[in-house]
Structure 1
């Protein structure tokens, strides 16, 4: 595999577009943050890519964010070549379809390194023509119009509960995440008058498809379908802007039941593996 150059990017974009929704993270990161050039001003989600071609045709794209999160889109399984290409690189996480992340992790020699977060979750897709909006109290407002202190606390707990982030680090990351979500207009909060009920977000956005993430209801309000209503209303807004599909991966039976009730159907298995410290690849 060879490093991608700026001239390769239109071909990379077309390749990833053909693999959506399984390539939402690398494609959306590229669209919003661009190609990582090594400068300190680059966003942590800016992308680097390694490419494999066969007879001049692009067959595999291995993406990595500037912070070292690997995002494979490698249908032919070029794992030995990937390990060689990544020799000397630091890897903080592997995220993607289970059938790609599992063999890539093994080829990199990381199968026995415990993950701070190490989960396989069902992956879902929804045509927004089939979206079901549940009845219930409240309507959604952007994060910028919500109660900031509450949202920071919810985001901290979301990071700790769902992503396994240590609580002290989650508190630091939460404030930054709420501010970034407000600026990006990517998240909403379901409000019943002055009372916040749940939050929902989009962690990857492209013109025709979005990926749901950052869904949270505080424990005292769970079991009342607030989160599914927040997600549904948020997706209805996206549909109004011309978005046609939504995808997500779900943790736990309650979340799976909620998303199925909205019309999502399962399409595969998704792996999230994040290490406590970056791992150097020896090839």
Structure 2
């Protein structure tokens, strides 16, 4: 059984997303905000999927029957989809169920998922300092964000990606989670929470320019950001590592591998059922 989520499902979704919290941060934040587009699976509720207003399909449903995928595909037919994210085996099922299995993706990558109880955070030494992203950073750091989108997310270089980079930095500024690491007043790295709840956060958008890598800047930026979050009462953090160097850096401050997460992105968006 699959149907749109209703008010009576709030408690069940709270319990489900808490039980699978480390791989459900995007869904959990959307649920906390009351973001539309969620469908519950099973009776009683055993899973949840969502085509978010952003156009990303998110899944935390281990078992979805073929007839339920068919129903969902009909209801969402011709809706644009920018990507499918979630545990790898669930993403594979969603791609088939939504009729996207044969569509060429800009990015299709399984990344190791890491978790850390912030009581176990290990602070690396250093004299660099962290500050919030500021309006004055948008212009100078847009090339950084553009490079991140090209390198980590598979975007093509060009004016569209540059515009997207600037817009994303603006959104980070509004959200208030992004941080810039400085040495002697000069930016050397940046990081962000791409999902945040009162007691749990997800780290994303960690970037150090190539010429400044190998000096521990990304590791220290993340550690300082998490130290700040811990002081506010955050208890746990999760993240995905795009490569082995990043994984080693995160393990160096206490993160431990807890699973995998699959990211499938489409640029431009593709149509569900097409």
TM-score by length of 2: 0.92
Aligned residue pairs, count: 269
Partner of 1:44: none
Note the C-alpha offset of 1:76. 2.5
Note the C-alpha offset of 1:202. 0.4
What is the aligned-residue RMSD (CA, Å)? Answer: 1.8
Partner of 2:13: 12
Evaluate the alpha carbon distance shift between residue 79 and residue 94 of structure 1 in structure 2; reply closer, same or farther with a 3 A threshold.
farther
| 8 Å Cα contact 1:29/1:204 also seen in 2 | no
List alignment gaps of at least 5 residues for structure 2: none
1:131 paired with 2:132, answer no
**Residues in 2 aligned to 1:176 and 1:49: alpha-carbon distance in whole angstroms:** 26
1:258 paired with 2:249, answer yes
**Residues in 1 aligned to 2:114 and 2:150: alpha-carbon distance in whole angstroms:** 23
List alignment gaps of at least 5 residues for structure 1: 37-47
| Residues 152-209 of structure 1, C-alpha deviations (whole Å, 9 max, x = no match) | 2211111121111222222111211212212221110001122111001100001111
**Residues in 1 aligned to 2:248 and 2:198: alpha-carbon distance in whole angstroms:** 27
Partner of 2:86: 96
| Residues 83-104 of structure 1, C-alpha deviations (whole Å, 9 max, x = no match) | 4213215222100111210122
Partner of 1:35: 35
| Residues 230-278 of structure 1, C-alpha deviations (whole Å, 9 max, x = no match) | 0000000011111111000011111011011111111111111012333
TM-score by length of 1: 0.89
Q: Secondary structure at the match of 2:134?
A: helix
Partner of 1:72: 59
Partner of 2:42: 53
Q: Secondary structure at the match of 1:246?
A: strand
Evaluate the alpha carbon distance shift between residue 135 and residue 181 of structure 1 in structure 2; reply closer, same or farther with a 3 A threshold.
same
Q: Secondary structure at the match of 1:147?
A: helix
Q: Secondary structure at the match of 2:22?
A: coil
Q: Secondary structure at the match of 1:134?
A: coil
